[in-house]
Chains A and B, each alone.
Chain A
Amino acid sequence: MALFDLALVALLLMLALRVVVEPDERSAIITFLAFGLLLGLAWVRLAAPDVALTEIAIGGGVTGILLLRAEAALRGRGKQAEPATRTGKLAVAAGSAAISAGLGFAVLTFSTPAPTLAPAAAQALPATGLGNPVTAVLLAFRALDTLLEKVVVLLALIGVWSLAPDALWGGAPDLKPAAVPGPLAYLGRVLPPFGVVIGVYMFWVGADAPGGTFQAGTVLAAMWLLVMMAGLHPPPDTTRWLLRLVLAGGPILFLAIAFLGFAFADGFLAYPKALAKPLILAIEAALTLSVAAALAMLVAGPARKAPAR
């Protein structure tokens, strides 16, 4: 297995270097996507299937759509920063190498035995009623991070929306190409039912096995993007109440249950022991929808059509 790991690491580093030196923008991005997929494999080798799913869905999937669309929009007029001078580049290369070296040194000198919270997490796991410790960390032990992170995603979305011209504020983004190729339209009709089933499945098993809100949300987001890009259903106006409700619904339910903890459990974000699992599943369900809507709208970008009044 060590040989496999070494090959994987070598490949990852080669691809990363290729992304940096490749002159053609699109080739670089496609190389980056390959890098993202291989990274998923690395996560499997690190015994982190939850992260592997997230990495492949987000790092290899949705980021890919985002970057390729950006490349297409910027082609020929990509904004260039002032190019670095040769000495500047050398200095930065030296600095980056120093950071890498320091980091490698730190990784090699970590104290042994390695400190771990795995036993503590396993001990606290029954109180949550969950079987997947990663989900328990995300939605119980460190739920405050997850809650704030949801707000971060929504904030990024509002930030993206705020980049629309004033006249288009509140309007709909545009994802549909001028002419939808037949196969894409076909895929847009056939795949989403399967995708939705897979998304729901990932959310459902996430309580006890690898999977969970983020992975499921990303799959659902991809399906929605496919439908919008195939021109089967136009993106909604950003002021549509249903969209806003889905976006805010997950965090609002999360907050409501968090505040109820003051009255019915040990305080903010604590769950009553008997109800922990159903409550967490309810939060996860709402969050999955919120994540799906937010990620898809993040890829779709700011409004490009005036809102329907």
Chain B
Amino acid sequence: MTPLVHATTPGGFLLVLATILPVCAVLAILASGPRSAARIALATFAAGLAVAIAIATELISSGKALSYVVGAWQPPLGIALRADGLSGAMLVMTALVVVAVGLFAHIQHGLQTDAGGGRAQTTFWVMLLALWSALNAVFVGEDLFNLYVALELLTFAAVPLVCLDGRAETVTAALRYLLFALIGSLLYLLGAGLIYGQYGTLDLLALAQLARQDPALAVALALMIVGLLAKAALFPLHLWLPPAHAGAPAPASAVLSALVIKAPVFLILRLVLDVAPPQAAAIAGQMLAVLGAASILFCSVMALRQARLKLMIAYSTVAQIGYLFIVFPLAAGSADLPPWGTIAWTGGALQLVSHALAKAAMFLAAGVIAEAFGHDRIADLGGFGRVLPISAAAFGLAGLSLMGIPPSGGFVAKCLLLTAAVIQGNPWLAATILAGGVLAGAYVFRVIDKALAVPTVPIVARRAVPRRLECAALALAIAAVLIGFVPLRPFGFLQIGRDGLNLAWAP
């Protein structure tokens, strides 16, 4: 067995830029004062998007993972960064959502009377940029402790976003979110400590080769996964999410729901697939799938019962996250077919990306609605589609993806998962996927129905909303639909850089 070591690849420095550029912008804002926040943020969007696209291009052209050994100190003493196909997809998706949300927020801030530099606006820019850094660091991180710092960066960026409006309810939600997130990251850190104590390294690539069946590793993985589940808000640890995501301003909700909770999910995926020995991975996969299925069913029903639009979307987030966890048993690989070669793996990755785009679009559309009518009570929104046709269209297109109706990214994802469940002879999961789709249809149509209704008293907008604002939501929704046009088979891009890693799966 030749030990895999990290070696800096051409283009590896892009990973450093992806992680560090937004942080540079945060420091620049801090040093130069709140007034320049928006300008610095917009410039960083362009640069960050370019870096993400460059990474994806480099991955496609070389067909191999990108690596960077920071400071040329080889792990385990030093830290390495690495991006494979899945990381690359996450980086591009993150950049797209962040830029769209950032443009939305910029237009929205322009509607407000006071000049820039205010408390909520400045905090939003700083936190959005920091969040971007943190997400990129999670997606390219290769060192368990480095990932811990990235997770904490993510928490500290996300919590102030929740209570930007400064009302008592949102501060309560932020505090609860902070405590959940802290317990989560501390449990994760504890697991990392145990792994170091057992193997003397924190490097994921090294652990993929060293890991074997032993009690310390089992305890460590259990702690880390539970901690990450609390951060990912999987049922029954989801209680903090709806008030936090529904109380934030729309652009903040969009990034929180679309991106922030994906980071812990991504890490669970890496831990279960790369580090856990096969038997442990199988057991963990079964348990995660049960929780995922419960999440889909319970929170879809909860979404159906919400009176407020943003709370409904927030519950839908928990339900949609559930799909990502039923991937684990479905993607269980075999000797000749590694997990990332299965259709369930592709389905899960597509679900991750399409949900991010669709959910961001939905929250932005809900933001436009709240901006226009001053409230988001679903019952009082009859006929809003006539006033805000673009937003209603964005909501509907995003809804297609959540329901899993063609043509949409969500359809391809759920279709692949369903096929995998049927092939594997797993009727319960197949039924859950179908039921989740029906329930999602119910809650999305509840809103669409209102949009198309002809109320006796026509609804009027409290204030005019510029079309540009609505277009950001529509663009994301269209992107979510376009993902539906990738072919229905294991997607090659997602397998880039995975082939070296199947050592843990060899019997």
Interface size on A (CB < 8 Å)?
A: 60
Residue from the list A152, A158, A165 in contact with B149, Cβ < 8 A: A152
**A268 and B68 in contact (CB under 8 A), knowing A155-B157, A162-B119?**
yes
Tell me, in angstroms, the Cα distance from A247 to B214 when the chains sit together.
45
Contact status A248-B197, CB under 8 Å: no
**In the bound complex, do residue A107 and residue B33 qualify as a contact, i.e. CB atoms below 8 Å apart?**
no
Instruction: Say which residue of A106, A116, A152 sits within 8 Å of B156 (CB atoms).
Output: A152
Q: Are B72 and A117 in contact (CB under 8 A)?
A: no
A126-151 toward B: CB 8 Å interface, digit per residue (1/0)? 00000000000100111111001101
CA A141 to CA B77, docked complex, whole Å: 6
Contact assessment for A155 and B78 in the assembled complex, using a CB-CB cutoff below 8 Å: no
With a CB–CB cut-off of 8 A, which chain A residues contact B79? 141-142, 144-145
Stretch at the interface among B16-24, B40-48, B334-342: B16-24
Main secondary structure of the interface of A (DSSP, over half): helix
Q: Which residue of B lies closest to A262 (CB)?
A: B13
Are A109 and B30 neighbours in the complex by a CB distance under 8 Å?
no
Q: Could you tell me if B160 and A159 are in contact, using CB atoms closer than 8 angstroms?
A: yes
B215 partner, pick from A106, A144, A247, beta carbons under 8 A: A106
CB–CB A151/B71 < 8 A: no
Q: Is the CB of A268 within 8 A of B13?
A: yes
Given known contacts A115-B198, A115-B200, A105 and B219 CB-to-CB distance under 8 angstroms? yes
List of B residues within 8 angstroms of A231 by Cβ:
none
B interface majority secondary structure? helix
Set of chain B residues within 8 Å of A195, measured between Cβ atoms:
none
**Interface pair A244/B30, CB less than 8 Å apart:** yes
Q: Complex formed: what's the CA distance from A166 to B34 in Å? A: 14
Give the interface size bracket for B toward A.
Answer: 35 or more
In the complex, residue of chain B having the shortest beta-carbon distance to the beta carbon of A261: B71
Chain B residues, CB < 8 A from A166: 118-120, 166
- A85 on interface, CB distance cutoff 8 Å: no
A145 to B198, CA, bound (A): 22
Contact, CB under 8 Å: A149 / B149 = yes
A41 interface residue (CB < 8 Å to B): no
Chain A residue at minimum C-beta to C-beta distance from B160: A159
Q: Which B residues are within 8 Å of any A CB, using their own CB?
A: 8, 13, 16, 20, 23-24, 26-27, 30-31, 33-34, 68-73, 76-79, 118-120, 123, 126-127, 130, 133, 137, 145-146, 149-150, 152-153, 156-157, 159-160, 163-164, 166, 171, 190, 194, 196-201, 214-216, 219-220, 222-223
Interface residues of A (CB under 8 A from B): 99, 102-103, 105-107, 109-111, 114-117, 120-121, 124, 137, 140-145, 148-149, 151-152, 154-156, 158-159, 161-166, 169-170, 239, 241, 244-245, 247-249, 251-252, 255, 258, 261-262, 265-271
A/B interface sample: 30 pairs, CB < 8 A: A103-B190, A107-B197, A109-B215, A111-B214, A115-B201, A117-B76, A117-B77, A141-B73, A142-B78, A143-B70, A144-B71, A145-B79, A145-B146, A151-B133, A152-B149, A152-B152, A155-B26, A155-B153, A155-B157, A156-B156, A159-B159, A169-B118, A170-B34, A239-B34, A244-B31, A244-B33, A267-B68, A267-B71, A268-B13, A270-B71
Q: A155-B156, A163-B166 are in contact. List 4 more A-B contacts (CB 8 A).
A: A145-B79, A152-B153, A269-B70, A269-B71
